[in-house]
Copies of this chain bind each other. A is one copy, B any other.
Amino acid sequence: MVDADRGERSPAVPDRLVAEATRMFAERGFERTSVQDLVTAAGVTKGAMYHYFDSKDDLLYAIFQRLLAMQRERLDGYAKAPGPVADRLRAAAADLVRTSIENMDEAVIVFRSLHMLSPERQRAIRAERRDYQERFLAMVEEGRREGVFRSEVPLNIVATQFFGAVHHLGMWYRRGGGLDGAGLGDHFAELLMSGLLARD
């Protein structure tokens, strides 16, 4: 019973740990989730966990990276795609909202528990996120140069407000509220575009 079993019975231990940690950190918060509760929920003991992760911090860091790496990769897709920049930007924005909602647990953790990471790792994550926003802003800038975006409000403020709203999703969005991730993504993207285009 080896890899074949892992696929059919239950996931490998590291994966189970990350999965449980994601669920519990999102629900109770990082600091209110003890390592003991965590490993119990995952059906192992502390020793097993410390075999795969150097610390509780490590586990948290892994969660951060998974979501951010995924979203950065997706953004790259839109940035490099052909077509008008306005369309690509709108699609990228809607996609960010959608993936944030579909990975709500991770999203909640990222925006709520960043300051629980060790300082170096905080810096690393912040850098990654800054990188994401800069790539995003590069598309906005591209649109501005082409004369597509010409808002009264500084464009980076428009984009920043959008990011703020996205990061805050975890605080209020609940499933089954009559609006799924894709629907909300469309609205959010629409709102972003109206901000970038508006001129009164």
Which A positions have Cβ atoms within 8 angstroms of B? 28-29, 31-32, 111-112, 115-116, 151-154, 157-158, 160-169, 171-172, 184, 187-188, 190-191, 194-195, 198, 200
CB <8 Å contact, A161 and B188: yes
Q: Is B184's CB under 8 angstroms from A157's CB? A: yes
Contact A169–B164 (Cβ < 8 Å): yes
* Interface residue from B28, B31, B165, B190 paired with A164 (Cβ < 8 Å): B165
Cβ–Cβ contact A194 & B200, under 8 A: yes
Q: Known contacts being A154-B187, A194-B200, A195-B191, is A171 close to B161, with CB within 8 Å?
A: no
**CB-nearest residue of chain B to A190:** B153
Pairwise interchain contact B115-A115, C-beta atoms closer than 8 A: no
Task: State in angstroms the CA–CA spacing of A97 and B28 once bound together.
Answer: 29
CB distance from A34 to the nearest CB of B (A): 13
A and B contact pairs by CB, cutoff 8 A, 7 listed: A151-B194, A152-B190, A157-B187, A163-B168, A164-B167, A165-B168, A191-B195
Known: A112-B112, A153-B190, A198-B198. A165 touches B161 (CB 8 A): yes
* Cross-chain contact of A112 among B115, B161, B165, B198 (Cβ < 8 A): B115
Contacts of A151 in B (CB 8 A): 194
Looking at the assembled complex, report how far the CB atom of A87 sits from the nearest CB atom of chain B, in whole angstroms. 15
A115 to chain B, nearest CB (A): 5
Q: A160-B172, A168-B164 are in contact. Are A153 and B187 (CB under 8 A)?
A: yes
Docked pose: A190 CA to B194 CA in angstroms? 12
A161 surroundings in chain B (CB, below 8 A)? 161-162, 165, 188, 191
Nearest residue (CB) in B for A186 is B153
A153-B165 Cα distance, complex, nearest whole Å: 15
A89 to chain B, nearest CB (A): 16
B165 and A171 contact, CB distance less than 8 A: no
Which one of A167, A171, A200 has the greatest number of beta carbons of chain B within 10 Å? Answer: A171
